[in-house]
């Protein structure tokens, strides 16, 4: 780095920077920060935050009020409180207060305990962090102070392996040139070491006495959350020095490989970038959550309606009967009219009917604290870095999740654990298990329709191998056999022997020995080529023992290139900020590093300017071909065209290319340029732009050296996974920053694109009009094609009846769309986005190349907004973060490119192929379980509550409950919760292998068939039906029945016990019918719940409790007296039979007449299991399994090809048609027609039903 | 909810049946071999039970008389007129004459039935204090607030037993007379008024307060009877084991009915010559008419009934069982037909392929 020798302008007022008066107003936001070293009085004026952090929310005194206040901000809790208040009004109270207060207190207590524990740990970690010791320079000597006492402007000393206490300006370090190394894993998750450097003037302040006298002042930007930006200026000794992120040590980093360093505190405590980054987390909600919210509102409306009906009934009854019944039952003093009585009765009924609203057990379960960054840096610009699970920093409260019942959360938690525990999603190589980082989305995994995938590191391994290169017009790297022909795979000759080079990397493999020959014979072009590779990079080297080099590279591409150079005899050995030492063909050469013109997404190139030992200055540049080819010196046209040919060839093979070039600079020009660069870097505003233009100036008229090609290997199982997901009707879009050729190539190699496709549309227009035209043409082609190709699948009736978009959806031919970044920018504009979407969605595969991170997010947003479909984004790198956060479900590949994507994701695992298991097995089960759970949940609550409504007509609408109050309290919490939870956690319809064999099993989730408004009404209707029977059958029987000893049976308490027992038995039988997978736990919970019901019943009705609280346990002796009556049991049996038999009959008929695919699969399994011996069935089974074999061996190689050739496709369309053919109802058909478009292939012919 | 990354180097997940979701499980499928036998067996069982219930219910004799005294319905109308103006009940009595052509098999139970009487009204059914009724001395003089407005008298004396239920105690009384020979004298049939309440009610739920100097009256000193009652609670019956809170009529009344039409056991006839039933002959029920019901459109009935193994006359249960059983069978046949056709079709498909 260059040292400013003479500043162009000097400060007249020594040590007093301008705008003295612009202090930080104590009330407003800070505009700029000033900190003077060693001057606490001066710094105190600004009242900057101290270094004490507080992530905890409560202390002992404030805990109860604050926590309660927070909890009552939730609708559910407030609703409960409101009910509780209603119950305290004696005229209204229809239930004892404890029926409400028990669940309320339970919910509040659980949440409070959880909040308290969380906060306790936060206190603990706060304390621990605040009391960490650091060495602070106070009055000329180093003193041990806890972190919390460190102030802005202090100078502190850090030692090796210590955490950085605050955001520091690095002043000096033990290493030469003021260098120091830090690890930022806590901050952005990257584990490689980074280097920071003090500005040269301060790096000389190495002893305490000089540091104590240091009185420089830092003026810089106010606290912000940008981890990779810092701009400020140091004023010292009447000069000013620019400061950048390169000079900063941020809190959360760890000092490594550096004995000590001194730093000036610039931001402390809550102002540090680390703390600024721990924002509130926005929780994603699933579509079922949203549906539930609507349903809850509907139910609430229903509740009010019932209340009104009953209130009117009450007013009429009191008017007709009640007034004349006053001799025995006078009105309350407060009640003066039948109307008022009706009004009170309304509220009484709201209390007893409120159990119908499933708000009853809502816990703010997702109050788990998480640290997720709140900011999303604008797409494209640099690497957005995200902070991680920082030890000390926990502190954000999510917005309260309004309507998520406790049990729903428990179920989702269980599903998340199953994902974490799944051995088949554990990557043994990297020792990474799959991880559900969000527990609130599990059932949405079963509804995914669109998958947006990154390419690099997601579909590909992100293992880069230096594969080919073109050096001054000659291409190297083809695998040649002895005769010099290109060799076929599998008959490769021996790789090139690098043993003559003692520093070579043993793992490096190259097949073309002629390149090594060229280097050895001293081809100057080859030498310059590899010299460039060994100089122009940002790799760090580490040499633990002599000759054992380790490279730490930011990107794997760079690592591959430097390693290649190393093996070919240009070994990058070591670097200092101003030198690079390279072993060139065995001799050490040290280059003076004059400047690094770093890479960014806009420039797409990086350069170094070095002075070689002879004193010549040369610029080496490597970068993307599109950019670099424009900035070359035009003279050797021939070389340019051969190299371009080579580049095209490489791209065609799916290789990643870079173009290399150099330029000689003379001393004079360089001197002037360096000045301009310095000025640009000192600029206060738009520093970036000015630097870029300075860089641009020097990187021109360069001389072409050659090109490199790096192979990006596909991950294991990618084609198979894509094929399987496609069969499951999931559309896969690849969004990549790579170039079109590479992207298309990867598309072919992972079988997204096949040669069988009717056409691959490529949209590359540069203007709005061109793009629009290209999209229109594509649509026209697709519409015309069914006739042209003669595809018999799309019948004319369908086409005429449907609207245009659905016609496009129904296009049966296979098309693919490739669109590049330029065109995408136009296509995403408001007036064209629908056209684009329509076209893209009609295609089987969509590849967007050269897209920026922001565009990735926009594409996801577009589909999310207009298709109303569940989207999943999967990626591994920082450039995927925006997309991952936008999609309904974000999946991060815990791969090589750092872990930013993982941190932003909802699920993470290490291989793309695990996606099929996540969706088809876990997602499908989760969806199924959740739907079954919700159906049953609504059913049981309606069956339970509506009984009160019917009873209202027989008790003068007086809000008398049918059940004992304890039964009402315990019904939801104890008697019926665990069996349905067990079902929600453990249920399976078909075994996991089958969901892989029959990807169509995934379809009900996408069509949202298992829980929608229609299913909801069916559940409600069933619940109401049950409530009618559970009330009226006991009514009919008991009205006239007498006990065995002759006394009446129809007393209120016996009636209550009869109805309650019937209800518990009916809902238990119903859960038994709904449970498809009876594990021991299900057995235990179902039988246990029944047992507990009777145990509690007898306990509550026992003499002992009555003797203690006669007014609370009025049902004394009731259980044994009532349940001893045969009539009561006859009633219960009858009720159960009448409630359950229709359900059984309906299910049986459905199974016979129009089975789901999952029913068919289960049935065939049963047949297979049971009737193995019979020849006839053997034949059947044999055929069935052969039909499945395509899927059964899907894990083997070649499966994807089989599918894409269309041979296999017939099976899936058969399976689908078979299950579609019997589902006669029109709406289902319509839905399916809409969704199941391209499953059929021309050869399928009329669909034949498949029956298991 | 998010938890921090377990990150790299994590242990391999446990390979247990639980974590890998491979718990052994029973996966029932509603196949024909389960569903069809279920329906036919259930149907047959229900029809069998239904026939039994129906015939045993039919075998039960029941004799009812509405003595509300609406104009023109017998000789109770005179008494009924008296209650129109809600004057304190007169000692009015009326009679119901009936004759039996054959033996009314015993044991015979005598019930009274009230209609349109809302014992199940919430405000009515909470208007009691079980602590007081369980004989707790302290509660005796401090009735619960639920009893209002029958908590205390205007004089401030606590009411025992408090509440609307107790206040509205049914106070008609009946006596049964039998004329063995035509023209002969009417002989009183002994009515067993004990054992008509639940054992737990008389012995656990309802208890008299501790006697003071051996006297129940002293125990109740300082309390007032409910306004409608002509006598204090300790004079409900001369029998010391059947008076106070444990008076059986009172206990029966306090066990409130679930429905607005209900009957309550008044007495059992099982003594002496009548243990086998009521022999043929003419009978007279002498009714002391105290209880006004016409104001709210209620009716009062006297019911004689005997019972079988499953209780009293109850045609509903038998008919319901028969109907449900038949429906099960019909449904079973429908399912069978569907199943067979589906099977056939399946086989054809099979052969065709």
B311 and A1042 within 8 Å at the Cβ level: the answer is: yes
- How far is the first Cα of chain B from the last one, in angstroms, to the nearest whole number? 53
pLDDT of residue B230: 87
Residue in A with minimal Cα distance to B294: A324
High-pLDDT (> 70) share of chain A, %: 81
> What's the gap in Å between the CA of A1077 and the closest CA on chain B?
5
Q: Name the 3-class secondary structure at A147.
A: helix
The segment with the largest mean pLDDT, out of A353-367, A718-732, A805-819, is: A718-732
pLDDT of residue A1023: 96
C-alpha to C-alpha distance for A536 and A593, rounded to whole angstroms: 10
- Residue A360 clears pLDDT 80, i.e. is over it: no
- Residue B173 clears pLDDT 80, i.e. is over it: yes
Place of tokens 């955001």: A167
pLDDT of residue B36: 92
Contact A721, A913 (CB under 8 A): yes
What DSSP string describes A944-1005?
HHHHHHHHHTTTTT----SS-HHHHHHIIIIISHHHHHHHHHH--SS-HHHHHH-GGGGHHH
B257 and A1050 within 8 Å at the Cβ level: the answer is: yes
Q: Which of A119, A126, A154, A454 is catalytic?
A: A454
C-alpha to C-alpha distance for B148 and B164, rounded to whole angstroms: 8
> What's the gap in Å between the CA of A413 and the closest CA on chain B?
9
Lowest-confidence pick of A205-209, A708-712, B24-28, B81-85: B81-85
Residues sharing a CB contact under 8 Å with residue A844, sequence separation 6 or more, in sequence order = A726, A731, A757, A814, A815, A816, A1238
pLDDT of residue A431: 81
For chain A, say whether B352 makes contact (Cβ under 8 Å).
Answer: no
Lowest-confidence pick of A48-52, A403-407, A1015-1019: A403-407
Lowest-confidence pick of A915-924, B26-35, B249-258: B26-35
pLDDT of residue A271: 86
C-alpha to C-alpha distance for A176 and A822, rounded to whole angstroms: 47
pLDDT of residue B350: 52
pLDDT of residue A615: 87
For chain B, say whether A683 makes contact (Cβ under 8 Å).
Answer: no
pLDDT of residue A349: 93
> What's the mean per-residue pLDDT of chain A?
78
Q: Name which of B144, B168, B346 is nearest A1111 (Cβ-Cβ).
A: B144
Tokens standing for B188? 């009183």
- Which one-letter DSSP state was computed for residue A739? -
- Model ipTM value: 0.94
Q: How confident is the model at residue B15 (pLDDT cuts 50, 70, 90)?
A: confident
Lowest-confidence pick of A577-591, A953-967, A1071-1085, A1169-1183: A1169-1183
Q: How confident is the model at residue A492 (pLDDT cuts 50, 70, 90)?
A: low
Burial class (CB in 10 A: 0-12, 13-18, 19+), A84: middle
pLDDT tens, A885-907?
889 999 988 865 566 778 788 89
pLDDT of residue B336: 92
High-pLDDT (> 70) share of chain B, %: 91
For chain A, say whether B101 makes contact (Cβ under 8 Å).
Answer: no
C-alpha to C-alpha distance for B236 and B244, rounded to whole angstroms: 6
> Averaged over A177-187, what is the pLDDT?
77
C-alpha to C-alpha distance for A848 and A1059, rounded to whole angstroms: 63
Q: How confident is the model at residue B353 (pLDDT cuts 50, 70, 90)?
A: very low
pLDDT of residue A601: 63
State which H helix or E strand residue A712 sits in: strand A703-714
C-alpha to C-alpha distance for A1175 and A919, rounded to whole angstroms: 37
HEC secondary structure over A447-510: HEEEEEECCCCCCEEEEEEEEEEEECCEEECCCECCCCCECCCCCCCCCCCCCCCCCCCCCCCC
Contact B162, B151 (CB under 8 A): yes
B-chain residues within 8 Å CB-CB of A1140? Answer: none
Lowest-confidence pick of A145-159, A774-788, A1059-1073, B103-117: A774-788
What DSSP string describes B130-196?
HHHHTT-HHHHHS--GGGTTSSB-TTSPBBSS-SHHHHT----EEEEEEESSTTS-EEEEPPB-SS-
pLDDT tens, A89-112?
888 887 777 777 777 787 788 878
State which H helix or E strand residue A83 sits in: helix A75-88
Using N-to-C axis directions, what is the helix angle for A60-71 and A98-130, rounded to 10°?
Answer: 130
Of A224, A213, A268, A202, residue with least CA distance to A52: A268
pLDDT of residue A1169: 67
Contact A156, A165 (CB under 8 A): yes
Lowest-confidence pick of A1091-1095, A1196-1200, B87-91, B205-209: A1196-1200
- Which one-letter DSSP state was computed for residue B210? P
pLDDT of residue A1182: 30
pLDDT tens, B292-341?
888 888 899 999 998 887 777 888 999 999 999 999 999 999 999 998 88
- Residue A3 clears pLDDT 70, i.e. is over it: no
> Averaged over A743-768, what is the pLDDT?
81
Contact A619, A698 (CB under 8 A): yes
Lowest-confidence pick of A80-89, A535-544, A947-956, B110-119: A535-544
Of A98, A206, A226, residue with least CA distance to A155: A206
pLDDT of residue A36: 87
- How far is the first Cα of chain A from the last one, in angstroms, to the nearest whole number? 75
- Residue A1131 clears pLDDT 60, i.e. is over it: yes
A1050 and B259 within 8 Å at the Cβ level: the answer is: yes
> Averaged over A8-27, what is the pLDDT?
39
C-alpha to C-alpha distance for A93 and B195, rounded to whole angstroms: 36
- Residue A1002 clears pLDDT 80, i.e. is over it: yes
Of A518, A519, A575, A589, residue with least CA distance to A542: A575
pLDDT of residue A11: 37
For chain A, say whether B340 makes contact (Cβ under 8 Å).
Answer: no
> What's the gap in Å between the CA of B68 and the closest CA on chain A?
16
More confident residue, A909 or A1184: A909
More confident residue, A553 or A815: A815
More confident residue, A552 or B131: B131
Residue to test with chain B: of A1152, A1153, A1161, A1176, most B Cβ within 10 A: A1152
- Residue A1168 clears pLDDT 90, i.e. is over it: no
- Which one-letter DSSP state was computed for residue B11? P
Q: Name the 3-class secondary structure at A762.
A: strand
pLDDT of residue A207: 84
Q: Name which of A366, A894, A1106 is nearest B204 (Cβ-Cβ).
A: A1106
> Averaged over A798-804, what is the pLDDT?
37
High-pLDDT (> 90) share of chain A, %: 20
C-alpha to C-alpha distance for A1048 and A1043, rounded to whole angstroms: 6
Burial class (CB in 10 A: 0-12, 13-18, 19+), A20: exposed
Name beta bridge partners: B66. Answer: B301
What does residue A618 show for φ and ψ, rounded to 5 degrees?
A: -140, 140
Place of tokens 């209780």: B311
**Pairing of β B277-278 and β B104-105:** antiparallel
> Averaged over A1122-1137, what is the pLDDT?
93
> Averaged over A850-864, what is the pLDDT?
86
- Which one-letter DSSP state was computed for residue A427? B
């Amino acid at each position: 780095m260059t040292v400013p020798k003479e500043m162009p302008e000097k400060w007249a007022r020594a040590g007093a920077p301008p705008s003295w008066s612009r202090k930080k107003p104590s009330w407003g936001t800070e505009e700029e920060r000033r900190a003077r070293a060693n001057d606490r009085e001066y710094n105190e004026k600004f009242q900057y935050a101290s270094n004490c952090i507080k992530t905890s929310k409560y202390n002992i005194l404030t805990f109860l009020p604050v926590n309660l206040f927070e909890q009552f901000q939730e609708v559910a809790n407030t609703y409960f409180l409101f009910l509780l208040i209603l119950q305290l009004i004696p005229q209204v109270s229809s239930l004892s207060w404890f029926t409400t207060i028990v669940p309320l207190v339970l919910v509040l207590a659980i949440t409070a305990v959880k909040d308290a524990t969380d906060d306790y740990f936060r206190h603990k970690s706060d304390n621990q962090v605040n009391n960490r010791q650091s060495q602070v320079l106070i009055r000329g000597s180093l003193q041990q102070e806890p972190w919390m006492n460190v102030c802005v402007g202090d100078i502190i000393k850090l030692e090796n392996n210590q955490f950085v206490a605050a955001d520091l300006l690095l002043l000096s370090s033990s290493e030469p040139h003021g260098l120091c190394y830090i690890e930022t894993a806590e901050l952005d998750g990257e584990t490689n070491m980074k280097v920071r450097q003090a500005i040269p003037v301060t790096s000389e302040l190495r002893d305490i006495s000089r540091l104590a006298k240091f009185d420089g002042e830092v003026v810089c930007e106010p606290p912000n959350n940008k981890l990779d930006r810092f701009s400020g200026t140091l004023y010292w000794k009447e000069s000013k020095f620019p400061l950048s992120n390169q000079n900063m040590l941020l809190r959360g980093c760890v000092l490594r490989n550096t004995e000590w360093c001194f730093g000036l505190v610039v931001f402390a405590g809550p102002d540090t970038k680390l703390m600024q980054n721990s924002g509130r987390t926005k929780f994603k909600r699933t579509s079922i959550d949203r549906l539930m919210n609507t349903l809850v509102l509907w139910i609430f409306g229903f509740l009010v309606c019932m209340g009104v009906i009953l209130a009117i009934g009450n007013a009429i009854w009191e008017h007709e009967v009640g007034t004349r019944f006053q001799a025995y039952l006078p009105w309350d003093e407060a009640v003066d009219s039948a109307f008022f009585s009706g009004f009170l009765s309304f509220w009484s009924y709201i209390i007893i009917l409120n159990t119908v609203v499933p708000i009853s057990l809502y816990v703010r379960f997702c109050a788990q604290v998480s640290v997720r960054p709140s900011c999303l840096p604008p797409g494209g610009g640099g690497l957005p870095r995200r902070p991680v699970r920082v030890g000390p920093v926990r502190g954000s409260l999510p917005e309260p999740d309004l309507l998520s019942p406790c049990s729903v959360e428990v179920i989702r938690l269980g599903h998340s654990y199953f994902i974490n525990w799944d051995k088949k999603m554990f990557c043994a190589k990297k020792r990474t298990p799959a991880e559900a980082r969000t527990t609130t989305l599990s059932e949405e995994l079963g509804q995914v329709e669109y998958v947006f995938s990154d390419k690099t590191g997601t579909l590909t391994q992100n293992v880069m191998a230096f594969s080919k290169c073109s050096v001054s017009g000659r291409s190297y790297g083809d695998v040649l056999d002895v005769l010099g022909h290109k060799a076929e795979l599998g008959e490769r000759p021996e790789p090139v022997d690098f043993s003559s080079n003692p520093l070579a990397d043993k793992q490096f493999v190259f097949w073309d020995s002629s390149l090594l020959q060229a280097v050895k014979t001293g081809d100057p072009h080859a030498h310059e080529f590899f010299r460039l590779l060994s100089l122009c990079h940002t790799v760090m080297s580490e040499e633990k023992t002599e000759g054992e080099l380790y490279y730490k590279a930011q990107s794997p591409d760079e690592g591959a290139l430097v390693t290649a150079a190393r093996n070919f005899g240009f070994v990058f050995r070591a670097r200092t900020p101003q030198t690079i030492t390279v072993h060139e063909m065995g001799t050490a050469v040290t280059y003076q590093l004059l400047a690094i013109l770093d890479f960014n997404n806009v420039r797409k190139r990086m350069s170094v300017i070095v002075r070689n030992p002879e004193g010549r200055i040369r610029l080496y540049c490597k970068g993307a071909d599109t950019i670099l080819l424009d900035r070359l010196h035009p003279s050797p046209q021939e070389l340019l065209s051969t190299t371009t040919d080579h580049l095209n060839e490489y791209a065609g093979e799916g290789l990643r290319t870079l173009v290399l070039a150099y330029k000689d600079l003379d001393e004079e020009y360089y001197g002037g340029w360096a000045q301009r660069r310095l000025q640009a870097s000192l600029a206060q505003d738009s520093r970036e732009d000015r630097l870029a233009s300075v860089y641009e100036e020097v990187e021109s008229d360069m001389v072409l050296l050659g090109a490199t090609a790096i192979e990006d290997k596909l991950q294991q199982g990618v084609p198979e996974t894509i094929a399987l997901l496609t069969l499951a009707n999931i559309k896969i879009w690849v969004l990549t920053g790579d170039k079109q050729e590479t992207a298309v190539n990867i598309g072919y190699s992972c079988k997204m694109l096949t040669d069988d496709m009717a056409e691959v549309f490529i949209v590359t227009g540069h203007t709005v009009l061109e793009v629009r035209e290209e999209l229109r043409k594509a649509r026209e082609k697709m519409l015309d094609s069914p006739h042209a190709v003669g595809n018999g699948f799309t019948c004319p009736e369908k086409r005429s009846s449907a609207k245009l978009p659905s016609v496009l959806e129904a296009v049966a031919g296979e098309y693919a769309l490739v669109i590049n970044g330029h065109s995408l920018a136009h296509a995403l504009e408001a007036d064209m986005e629908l056209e684009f979407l329509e076209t893209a969605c009609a295609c089987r595969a969509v590849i967007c190349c050269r897209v920026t991170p922001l565009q990735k997010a926009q594409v996801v947003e577009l589909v999310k907004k207009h298709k109303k479909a569940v989207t999943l984004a999967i990626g591994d790198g920082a450039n995927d973060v925006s997309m991952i956060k936008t999609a309904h479900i974000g999946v991060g590949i815990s791969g090589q490119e750092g872990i930013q994507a993982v941190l932003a994701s909802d699920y993470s695992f290490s291989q793309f192929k695990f996606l099929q298991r996540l969706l088809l097995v876990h997602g499908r089960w989760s969806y199924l379980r959740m739907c079954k759970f919700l159906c049953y949940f609504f059913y049981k609550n309606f069956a339970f509550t509506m009984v009160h409504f019917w009873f209202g007509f027989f008790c003068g609408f007086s809000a008398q409950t049918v059940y004992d109050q304890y039964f009402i309290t315990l019904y939801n919490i104890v008697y019926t919760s665990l069996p349905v939870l067990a079902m929600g956690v453990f249920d399976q319809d078909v075994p996991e292998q089958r969901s892989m064999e029959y990807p169509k099993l995934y379809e009900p989730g996408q069509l949202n068939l298992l829980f929608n408004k229609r299913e909801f009404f069916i559940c409600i209707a069933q619940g109401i039906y049950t409530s009618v029977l559970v009330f009226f059958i006991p009514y009919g029987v008991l009205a006239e029945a007498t006990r065995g000893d002759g006394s009446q049976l129809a007393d209120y308490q016996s009636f209550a016990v009869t109805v309650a027992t019937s209800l518990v038995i009916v809902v238990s039988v119903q859960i038994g019918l709904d449970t498809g997978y009876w594990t021991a736990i299900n057995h235990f919970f179902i039988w246990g719940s029944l047992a507990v019901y009777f145990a509690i019943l007898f306990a509550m009705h026992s003499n002992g409790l009555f003797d203690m609280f006669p007014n609370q346990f009025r049902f004394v002796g009731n259980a044994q007296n009532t349940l001893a009556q045969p009539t009561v049991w006859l009633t219960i049996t009858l009720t159960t039979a009448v409630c359950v038999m229709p359900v059984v009959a309906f299910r049986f008929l459905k199974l016979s007449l129009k089975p789901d695919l999952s029913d068919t699969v289960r049935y065939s399994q049963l047949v297979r299991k049971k009737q193995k011996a019979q020849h006839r069935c053997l034949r059947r089974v044999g055929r069935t399994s052969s039909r499945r074999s395509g899927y059964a061996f899907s894990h083997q190689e070649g499966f994807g090809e089989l599918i894409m050739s269309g041979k296999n496709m017939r099976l899936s369309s058969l399976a689908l048609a078979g299950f579609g053919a019997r589902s006669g109802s029109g709406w289902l058909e319509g839905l399916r027609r809409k969704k199941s478009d391209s499953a059929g292939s021309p050869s399928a012919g009329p669909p034949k039903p498949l029956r298991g | 909810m998010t938890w921090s990354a377990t990150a790299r180097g994590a242990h391999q997940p446990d390979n247990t049946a639980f974590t890998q979701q491979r718990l052994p499980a029973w996966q029932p499928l509603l196949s024909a071999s389960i569903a069809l036998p279920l329906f036919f067996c259930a149907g047959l069982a229900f029809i069998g039970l239904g026939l039994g219930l129906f015939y045993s219910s039919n075998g039960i004799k029941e004799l009812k008389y509405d003595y509300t005294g609406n104009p023109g319905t017998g000789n109770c109308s005179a008494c009924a007129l008296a209650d129109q103006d809600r004057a304190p009940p007169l000692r009015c009595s009326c009679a119901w004459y009936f004759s039996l052509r054959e033996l009314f098999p015993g044991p015979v139970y005598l019930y009274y039935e009230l209609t349109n009487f809302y014992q199940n009204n919430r405000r009515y059914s909470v208007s009691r204090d079980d602590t007081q009724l369980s004989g707790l001395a302290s509660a005796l003089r401090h009735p619960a607030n639920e009893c209002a407005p029958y908590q205390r008298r205007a004089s401030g004396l606590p009411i025992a037993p408090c509440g609307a239920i107790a206040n509205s105690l049914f106070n008609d009384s009946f006596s049964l007379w039998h004329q063995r020979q035509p023209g002969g004298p009417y002989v009183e049939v002994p009515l067993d008024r004990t054992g008509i309440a639940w054992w737990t009610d008389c012995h656990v739920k309802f208890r008299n307060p501790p006697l003071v100097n051996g006297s129940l009256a002293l125990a109740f000193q300082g309390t007032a009877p409910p306004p409608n009652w002509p006598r204090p609670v300790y004079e409900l019956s001369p029998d010391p084991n059947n008076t106070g809170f444990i008076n059986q009529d009172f206990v029966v009344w306090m066990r409130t009915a679930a429905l607005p039409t209900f009957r309550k056991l008044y007495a059992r006839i099982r003594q002496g010559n009548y243990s086998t039933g009521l022999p043929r002959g003419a009978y007279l029920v002498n009714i002391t008419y105290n209880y006004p019901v016409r104001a709210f459109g209620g009716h009062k009935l006297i019911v004689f009934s005997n019972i079988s193994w499953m209780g009293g006359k109850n045609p509903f249960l038998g008919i319901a069982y028969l109907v449900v059983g038949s429906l099960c069978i019909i449904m079973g046949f429908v399912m069978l037909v569907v199943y067979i056709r589906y099977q056939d079709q399946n086989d054809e498909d099979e052969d065709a392929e």
